[in-house]
Amino acid sequence: MNDNAGGWQRRFSTIELLLAITAMFVVFPFVEHLRSAALIESILLTIVLISAVLAVAGEKRVLMVALIVALPTLLARWVHHFQPDLLPPEIFLVGGIALVVLVIASLLRFVMTASLVTTEVLSAGISAYLLLGVAWTFAYWLVAEVIPDAFAFNASIKGEMSIQGFDGLYFSFITLTTVGYGDISPVSKVARMLAAMEAITGPLYLAVLIARLVALRPAPKSL
């Protein structure tokens, strides 16, 4: 797919990336109680990360760096899935954070250098926002692996809760949107610092994105 905004050529539309992230968010809560939940989650995460790499394939240098980060990251995820004792999840999480941050930076550059608002530009802006939530999901998960009691869960909630999987994704986006229901609370200083940073980043990102899109809107012709 060709997109003239910013002079970039995109072979893989950011619309597909947006759909992949949305599918992961929608499917996650319905598979947690299945026997194959871990496998499905791994597949969904793999699809999102691959889609993220393909979405920035317009620039060869960015693509090469993304591939260098993505390949060991996905390999670590699947090795840990089949052989948990062989590789710790921290390897996948660190690599996942690095890859998502790289993709977000590339998408933001695409939006900021665009000459007009197109569907591709809008999809890139929304995808970058959702990827912020994914990046913090990985960060919370990483903190929970290093500090087991980094998060506290409301005792009134039935069933087991973990910062992994959908619960982590849910907490991340609730924090990103500054809703904060209080059912999951950061306890450790690192977790609280991350939550505070995400709560600041979410509204700030939306403000900057909206301002940029408004600036790209053509001025009305005078009569």
Mean of the pLDDT values across residues 52-74?
A: 91
Among residues of the chain, what percentage have pLDDT more than 90? 55
For residues 30 and 3, give the distance between their C-alpha atoms in angstroms, rounded to a whole number: 36
Both structure tokens of 83 = 């052989």
Q: pLDDT tens digit string along 95-150? A: 999 999 999 999 999 999 888 888 888 899 999 999 999 999 999 999 999 998 89
pLDDT for residue 21: 92
Residue 5, SS3 per DSSP:
helix
**Which helix or strand (DSSP H or E) is residue 152 part of?**
strand 151-153
pLDDT for residue 68: 95
Q: pLDDT tens digit string along 160-210? A: 677 888 889 999 999 999 888 888 899 999 999 999 999 999 999 999 988
For residues 6 and 123, give the distance between their C-alpha atoms in angstroms, rounded to a whole number: 15
pLDDT for residue 8: 41
CA 16-134-205 angle, to 5 degrees, is: 90
List domains and CATH numbers for the chain. 5-216 (1.10.287.70)
Q: Are 68 and 48 in contact (CB under 8 A)?
A: no
Closest CA to 204 of 172, 170, 178: 178
Q: pLDDT tens digit string along 168-182? A: 999 999 999 988 888
pLDDT for residue 158: 62
Residue 190 burial (CB count, 10 A): 16
The pTM of this model reads 0.87
